[in-house]
Amino acid sequence: MAAIKDFVCAATLAAGLVSTTCATATTMEFVYSDAGSPVATGFFSYPTGETGVLNYGDLTEFSITVAGVTYTLADVLPLTDYVWFAYDTAANVFNIAAASCGYDGCGFYPSLSAIDSVGDFGFFFTSAAVNEGLEYSTATYFSFDTIAITASVPEPSTWGMLSAGFAGLAFLGFKRGRKLRFA
């Protein structure tokens, strides 16, 4: 279904029927690392053109894998305790919560978190100043020293859409050129 949507978008772009707004989401990848080794990896997507500080409710997709456990946006949205996601699109950083208490007491300000009400499902990453985290379902503690957020490489369907658009433009140019010569 997505391939059909991409093809229709590419065809209409090639025909000049719509502006270049077919790309609907911006995808960012992130890695929490310790001494160069990833302790958690993930990605999130949000509507292209969205700016400011985004939270989980602004996302179209989210996934994080930590301690072998993967959480998605569907897992995170119903959670109610220590839920924190504040991605600043201008600064390309996860903002740190101004005030938050974890299960171990106050002073643990999250850079990224989502935990269920009993504390046996979810994840909690402190600020880079503290450099600690916990995956709750496996009770795995870890430390990290860097948080990297990068733009994702376009999916193959996006490259296909671009190729189809250029092919359509070339075809239209060829077709119009033939009409002029034989008219």
pLDDT, one tens digit per residue, over 79-123 is 988 899 999 999 999 998 876 555 455 567 889 999 998 889 999
pLDDT of residue 89: 96
The whole model's pTM is what?
0.70
Q: Is residue 7 part of a domain?
A: no
Range of the domain at 93: 25-155
Residue 133 lies in a domain: yes
| Per-residue pLDDT at 157 | 58
pLDDT score recorded for residue 126: 86
Q: Residue 3 has what pLDDT?
A: 46
- Chunk the chain into consecutive blocks of 10 residues (it has 183) and report each block's average pLDDT, rounded to whole numbers: 48 47 84 96 96 96 97 95 93 84 62 91 85 94 94 63 62 57 53
User: What pLDDT is recorded for position 19?
Assistant: 43
Q: Is residue 166 part of a domain?
A: no
Q: Does 12 map to a domain?
A: no
Q: What is the structure's pLDDT at 98? A: 72
The per-residue pLDDT for 183 is: 52
Q: What is the pLDDT of residue 172?
A: 59
Is 175 a member of any domain? Answer: no
The reply to whether 114 falls in a domain is yes
In the chain, the percentage of residues whose pLDDT exceeds 70 is 64
Q: What does the pLDDT read at residue 46? A: 97
Residue 178 lies in a domain: no
Q: Give the 3-state secondary structure of the chain.
A: CHHHHHHHHHHHHHHCCCCCCCCCEEEEEEEEEECCEEEEEEEEEEECCCCCEECHHHCCEEEEEECCEEEEHHHHCCCCEEEECCEECCCCEECCCCCCEECCEECCCEEEEEECCCCCCEEEEECCCCCEEEECCCCEEEECCEEEEEECCCCHHHHHHHHHHHHHHHHHHHHHHHHHHHC
- Total number of domains constituting the chain: 1
Give the pLDDT score at 127: 79
Structure confidence at residue 164 (pLDDT): 63
Residue 146 forms part of a structural domain: yes
